[in-house]
Structure 1
Amino acid sequence: MKKRKFGVSCLVLLIFMCLIACKKEKSSSAETDEIISPTTGTRTQFTLDSIFLYAQQVYLWSDALPNYGDFNPRQKYANVSPDLTAFRKELFDISQFKIDKATGSAYEFPIYTGSAKYSYLEAGRINGGATAGVISSSPALLTSTGLTSGDKNIAYLALGAFPKLSRCQAILDQTFTELAATNPKYIVVDLRSNTGGYVETAEYIANLIVPTSLNGKVMYTEMFNAKMQAGQARILKYQPYIDAAGKTVVYNGRNATMADVDYTEKGNTYHFNKKGNLTTIQGVYFIVSGKTASASELLISCLKPYFNVKLIGEKTYGKPVGFFAINIDQYSVYLSSFLIRNGAGWSDYFTGMPVDIAVSSLASPDLGNPEESCLKAAINDLNGLKTTAKAGLSHTTLMQVNPLSGTTTLETATGFGMQENRLRLKNK
């Protein structure tokens, strides 16, 4: 029991130190008129303060947030209980400040009452740092096959998720070697049930598809807010840096923290580096739905500047942002922290990527069957045949738990965001 009390005391002390640090930083800045959070209070009050203070420095759209005094989280959520509900409500309110001028709605418009489209908070601490989030349990590869239509060789593969690359690289390499043997000119990538996962895996698949001529070309950039890029998110020194192998790293004679990461545009720009021996692809089709989100959309986006890319099915979810876990007391917070831009600088798919050929998909499609509606539409298009557009749902739906109420509702797929586990430390 004593050990447990000691652990709780340490957590509270960490939050307290974090708030003191923020106070000192702000008092030495030009923003001397801003009201700073109190240095005394309850554990709940410190957690409410910390969520907001982290958002002020780490949140992608922190420029839209008010100062602490105007937001006043302690007073704003004083009568909200239990604590978990109060913290989630605070995070939701933070997410609604930045408005997309194109739509007139918040970038993180609610997917249902009280739940932001991207940012979220969970009970329980993550072994944080550069690895973050909950990933689908679906396998990376659902099925693959080679098809022939007339004189056209077509590669087809269905990807169910993007788990850590170490878990799926072997099967991906084998699959693409087999597909390359047929010298396909076109590839159909089925992402209709893929809600995303690790960026490294989506990037690896892109490198398996592209020709060697794209080596060195920009694949995508992860764009953090101005404060992060300038190395001014000092609050992150209270978050340990964990590398892709799940290990702590010594940096300048001490354990590295997330404040030591290079958040600059240059440091987070990734380039094509061809993998495998498939070199014949000239056109790419993606089968998509409202479940297609996050790293799945990244795969689509990064190929768009370099291929004739066509989307078939239903409009995608729309998630061009990613994050890493932030531990606050006994909770893990996922604030939208970076924006994905492809090689052409494009990132504007917050409301989803529209399809070129609209087709309603069955709940359990016969994947890889050339007569299946979406795959047939791709083959028809290759042969110059039109597919009659069928009115479908704007988003594929699935059962989902409302994090505020705990009740199960039928809602649009959200996935769990874009997981980046390769954030790099600044050069010493």
Structure 2
Amino acid sequence: MMKQLKWGFALCYLFTTALTACKDYSEGVEVDTYEPSRTELTLDSIFLYAKEIYFWNDQLPTYEDFAPRAYAASTDDLSIFEEELYDITQFAINSETGRPYEYRQGYAGTPKYSFIEENESNTSAFAVLQSSYLDGTDDDYGFALTAIAANEIRVRYVVTGSTAYKAGIRRGDILIAVGGEEVRADSNADITRINSAFDGDTFELTVMDQDSVVLNTTLVRSTYTINPVFKDSVLETSAGKVGYLAYSTFSSLSNSQDVLDEVFAEFAAANIKDVVIDLRYNGGGYIATADYLINQIIPSSLNNRDMYVERYNELMQGGDATILENQLLKDANGDNIDYRGRYANYNDLDYSEDGNTFTFSKEGDLETIENVYVIISDATASASELVINTLKPYLNVILIGTTSYGKPVGFFGIEIDDYTMYIPNFQTVNSDEEGDYFDGMVPDFEINDDVTRDFGDTEESCLATAIAIITGDGTTARSSSTSSYSLLHLGNMPHTAVMIEHRRTLKQ
């Protein structure tokens, strides 16, 4: 209750002094004393926060022209707030495309980056993502499917350590039956049955592997510890040893660091100069973990050189986004932080370019990498794209696959009453000032995702292309047995496109 009162006081003060007319009767003059509803105050707050901290805040209209409270006559509160947020995100236009930066083809009414969620005891989708999946645990079956033909459904990925992985299911396996009944991709009833199985507590299925070995199993939904590495290996080629790492998510360092150390120790022992980083399903995660991967790849000669800058809007850089004073800063335990005789707030943080320029700091013993081949898809986003963009000025980076998602922006959450809003607060640019890949990174070699083979299989189309380039055998592109990447995907991707910045520095 105290939290809500404090929130209400701060916002009412802002509104009554700057935006709304009120009624009182001082000196006998009648003034409008309309009291806004809780919904109207939240609508105001969404716009006013965007007006100060949205990365493209300078392209937003005035409060009077936008009129946030006009949305209050709509449906339920969350839908109202989502509608308002979508409209806010459509003002900033990318001059290169003529479309809003937050335009997303095929998702009318949904911003590409921004969203708002209701806080339901930390059970919102993004809260769960941060508190469980990105910290190394999940409670699903740990696999997903792709239909590649009318009668063929393949396993797209299996999370290492999951229920499906322990049962022996692997990427490339063919799904034959669910609940003892054969399934086909061209049957709506079968698709519905598969999706229902993903939602249930048990999943009875039959799959067949590359060697035509049939597996009948019943998976039980349970909590498991995630290994974020799909597959790693040192491959023997005619040009020497090649490192391969398929990495599912930039989970917390506590979840990712040990496994990355182990992988790169093997690469260092093999003295590899070529490495294939498979990020085709990696939607991002923690920037600190992305930095850790980058620093495993680069040589120590790059220490203290610029990696990238997190660039905030001019208002935030100048310390003038005063609305952030309403957001208290918390430590790792969720406690308030003492600062200059009071509790620290988000306006006390350093948003300057100097304070948000990050430099290389070598991790591990691998010093020999010259060429980095990155496998990408439209599910490659955020922190994954940051890794690619950061390495480009310093190493030979070759992209293989299909165009990535396109998210060079990141955010932190803004609490507004019972909701948390996420809107782009900063853009990352590399040491060459490059970072405008809002429509995605285009591959150097366009190859469709080959879900017929497991990660690390040298005959899988994307990996085979990388090896062909490395060995110079004259074939620099291998055709995929799947005709298109825009195929029917069943089950969830590992997670949505995120680039989360938890590293904070208070102004000195």
Q: TM-score, normalised by structure 1?
A: 0.86
Whether the 8 Å contact between 2:336 and 2:344 is mirrored in structure 1 is yes
2:358 maps to what in 1? 270
Displacement, 1:24? 5.0
Letter in 1 for 2:64: G
5 Å matches for 1:183-198?
A: 183-198=271-286
Matched, 1:201 2:195: no
CA 1:341–1:424: 2 relative to 1, 3 Å: same
Look up the SS of the partner of 2:85 in the other structure: helix
Letter in 1 for 2:92: K
Displacement, 1:396? 7.5
2:303 maps to what in 1? 215
Which has the higher relative contact order, 1 or 2, with Cα contacts under 8 A spaced 6 or more apart?
A: 1
Matched, 1:105 2:99: yes
2:167 maps to what in 1? none
| Structure 1: tracts of 5 or more residues without a match | 1-5, 28-37, 402-411
Matched, 1:82 2:76: yes
RMSD across aligned C-alpha pairs, in angstroms? Answer: 2.6
Alpha-carbon distance in 2 for matches of 1:156, 1:377: 13
Look up the SS of the partner of 1:349 in the other structure: coil
Alpha-carbon distance in 1 for matches of 2:488, 2:308: 29
1:119 maps to what in 2? 114
Matched, 1:72 2:161: no
CA 1:283–1:163: 2 relative to 1, 3 Å: same
Alpha-carbon distance in 1 for matches of 2:485, 2:319: 40
1:420 maps to what in 2? 501
2:46 to 48, 51, 59: 51
CA 1:185–1:424: 2 relative to 1, 3 Å: same
Alpha-carbon distance in 2 for matches of 1:251, 1:399: 49
5 Å matches for 1:339-354?
A: 339-354=427-442
Matched, 1:172 2:260: yes
Alpha-carbon distance in 1 for matches of 2:43, 2:490: 30
Matched, 1:387 2:481: no
CA 1:225–1:166: 2 relative to 1, 3 Å: same
2:233 maps to what in 1? 145
Alpha-carbon distance in 2 for matches of 1:248, 1:416: 29
Look up the SS of the partner of 1:284 in the other structure: strand
2:411 maps to what in 1? 323
**Deviation by residue 1:238-271 (Cα, 9 ceiling, x = unmatched):** 1121245655322112221111110011101100
CA 1:369–1:363: 2 relative to 1, 3 Å: closer
1:359 to 447, 461, 474: 447
Letter in 2 for 1:61: W
Alpha-carbon distance in 1 for matches of 2:127, 2:428: 17
Letter in 2 for 1:72: A
Whether the 8 Å contact between 1:147 and 1:156 is mirrored in structure 2 is yes
Of the structure 1 ranges 147-156 and 50-59, higher mean CA displacement relative to structure 2 is found in 147-156
Alpha-carbon distance in 2 for matches of 1:227, 1:389: 49
**Deviation by residue 1:89-121 (Cα, 9 ceiling, x = unmatched):** 001100000000110000000350210000111
Letter in 2 for 1:104: G
1:96 maps to what in 2? 90
5 Å matches for 1:368-387?
A: 368-384=456-472, 385-387=474-476
Displacement, 1:388? 3.9
Alpha-carbon distance in 2 for matches of 1:126, 1:71: 32
Q: TM-score, normalised by structure 2?
A: 0.73
Matched, 1:255 2:343: yes
Look up the SS of the partner of 1:47 in the other structure: helix
Alpha-carbon distance in 1 for matches of 2:120, 2:345: 16
Letter in 1 for 2:365: N
Alpha-carbon distance in 1 for matches of 2:332, 2:381: 23
Letter in 2 for 1:20: Y
| Structure 2: tracts of 5 or more residues without a match | 21-32, 139-158, 160-226
Look up the SS of the partner of 2:441 in the other structure: coil
5 Å matches for 1:296-311?
A: 296-311=384-399
Alpha-carbon distance in 2 for matches of 1:160, 1:97: 34
Look up the SS of the partner of 1:78 in the other structure: helix
Whether the 8 Å contact between 2:468 and 2:477 is mirrored in structure 1 is no
**Deviation by residue 1:305-343 (Cα, 9 ceiling, x = unmatched):** 001100011110000000000010101100111001011
Alpha-carbon distance in 2 for matches of 1:424, 1:22: 30
CA 1:23–1:206: 2 relative to 1, 3 Å: farther
CA 1:241–1:133: 2 relative to 1, 3 Å: farther
Of the structure 1 ranges 361-370 and 303-312, higher mean CA displacement relative to structure 2 is found in 361-370
Alpha-carbon distance in 2 for matches of 1:25, 1:259: 20
Letter in 1 for 2:104: P
Whether the 8 Å contact between 2:449 and 2:485 is mirrored in structure 1 is no
Matched, 1:286 2:377: no
1:17 maps to what in 2? 10
1:336 to 395, 420, 424: 424
CA 1:399–1:83: 2 relative to 1, 3 Å: farther
Alpha-carbon distance in 2 for matches of 1:78, 1:350: 32
Look up the SS of the partner of 1:340 in the other structure: strand
Alpha-carbon distance in 2 for matches of 1:399, 1:260: 45
**Deviation by residue 1:342-394 (Cα, 9 ceiling, x = unmatched):** 11110110000000111111336411111111111000011222334658657
2:187 maps to what in 1? none
1:182 maps to what in 2? 270
Whether the 8 Å contact between 2:265 and 2:365 is mirrored in structure 1 is yes
CA 1:194–1:389: 2 relative to 1, 3 Å: same
Of the structure 1 ranges 368-377 and 248-257, higher mean CA displacement relative to structure 2 is found in 248-257
Displacement, 1:211? 0.2
Alpha-carbon distance in 2 for matches of 1:39, 1:59: 29
Alpha-carbon distance in 1 for matches of 2:260, 2:18: 48
Matched, 1:225 2:313: yes
Letter in 1 for 2:345: T
2:211 maps to what in 1? none
Whether the 8 Å contact between 1:315 and 1:394 is mirrored in structure 2 is no
CA 1:177–1:417: 2 relative to 1, 3 Å: same
Letter in 2 for 1:154: V
Whether the 8 Å contact between 1:61 and 1:225 is mirrored in structure 2 is yes
